[in-house]
Amino acid sequence: MGIIIAILLFSAIVIFHELGHFLLAKANKIRVDEFSLGLGPTIIGRKFGETKFSLKLLPFGGACMMGEDDADDVSEGSFNSKSVWARISVIVAGPIFNLVLAWILCFIMVAWVGYHPTVISGTQEGYSAEEAGMREGDVITKVNGRHVYLWDEISLYNILNMDGEKMEITYERGGEETTVVLEPRMLGDDAYPRLGITGEGERERPGILGTMQYALYTVRYWVNYTFESLKMLVTGKVGIQQMSGPVGIVNMVDETYQQSIAINIQTTVLSMMTLAILVTANLGIMNLLPIPALDGGRLVFLAIEAVRGKRVPPDKEGMVHFVGLAALMVLMVVVLFNDVMRLF
């Protein structure tokens, strides 16, 4: 059951991404040749108007085919016949729709179960937070000068600080703010250096406007989580062998489902929604990065065209995307191999 849910979640996220491209293409009167879910041979396909809607054999990925790679096609309604800003809006719509989906899911979760505020529920003996005078009821407002609104953000900063560097914490007590510098420590069975604070208090459920606001804060948290993960990968703190592809994601969803369904349905639904938010936020951010063959790579060339006033020669752009696609394919093979090896 968990595997089926994983495929459905991934498919829904991909459809939403491609829907962004599709809707903006239609809004700009760009012809869409095919809108497909999956990869490989077509299982089912039917044409409505000028667009063929199809379901492919492999349940991963999808496409909104607009002829963007056909530089010679400048006929009416073609992608390349439109202004550079129209084309930019179509390309950027996919990743933006992923982030919009993340916000919708976060809105539902905050409205349903609320959020964990940045209120300290206790301090632990032997750690720097207690020694600095922090205590239950203090509200943490900043970490290293950056505003925080969710307890998850504080946990993320702490977990990512694997080197145990000193952290500047600003907290509020009785309407007054105090800033202290804490040194994370590893005591006992700690897996990473900790500040010695807990935030296991009750969740808060704000009104409609507050729910919209905290849904946005939650999306921000997942975006930061994605960027910090990428930073750890680039700096070598996380190896490529720890990356997960479609197989790894399906396995993660299946394991999470099996564990959560043993508790109750609510926990299962919330767990699946959390994973969906993680995946859709990752997909949105990754597609905005200037990586050839992805949306971000295409946006770079469109931005150059907007500045120069003329398009980069199609053969040169095509070569860059080809090299980028080849590199992504090699990476996917490596990641797939890692995913399969983890199963045994």
- Contact (CB, 8 A) for 50 and 31: yes
CA torsion 66-68-73-79 (nearest 10°) is 60
Would you kindly state where each structural domain of the chain is located, as residue ranges?
2-31+66-112+279-342, 116-202
- pLDDT for position 148: 95
Q: How confident is the model at residue 104 (pLDDT cuts 50, 70, 90)?
A: very high
Task: Please identify which of the residues 18, 68, 153, 317 carries the catalytic annotation.
Answer: 18
Domain at 116-202, CATH homologous superfamily: PDZ domain (2.30.42.10)
Distance (Å, whole) CA 93 – CA 91: 6
- pLDDT for position 281: 94
- pLDDT for position 67: 79
* φ, ψ for residue 218, nearest 5 deg: -70, -40
- pLDDT for position 238: 67
Write the single-letter amino acid at 79.
Answer: F
What H or E segment, with its residue span, contains residue 185?
none
18 is catalytic: yes
> Per-residue pLDDT for 236 more than 80?
no
> Per-residue pLDDT for 2 more than 70?
no
Q: Which residue has the higher pLDDT, 323 or 39?
A: 323
- Contact (CB, 8 A) for 229 and 238: yes
Q: How confident is the model at residue 233 (pLDDT cuts 50, 70, 90)?
A: confident
Q: How confident is the model at residue 242 (pLDDT cuts 50, 70, 90)?
A: low
pLDDT digits (tens, 9 = 90+) for 128-187: 999 999 999 999 999 999 999 999 999 888 888 878 889 999 999 999 999 999 999 988
Nearest 5°: the CA angle 256, 223, 58 is 55
- pLDDT for position 160: 83
The one-character DSSP state at 338 is H
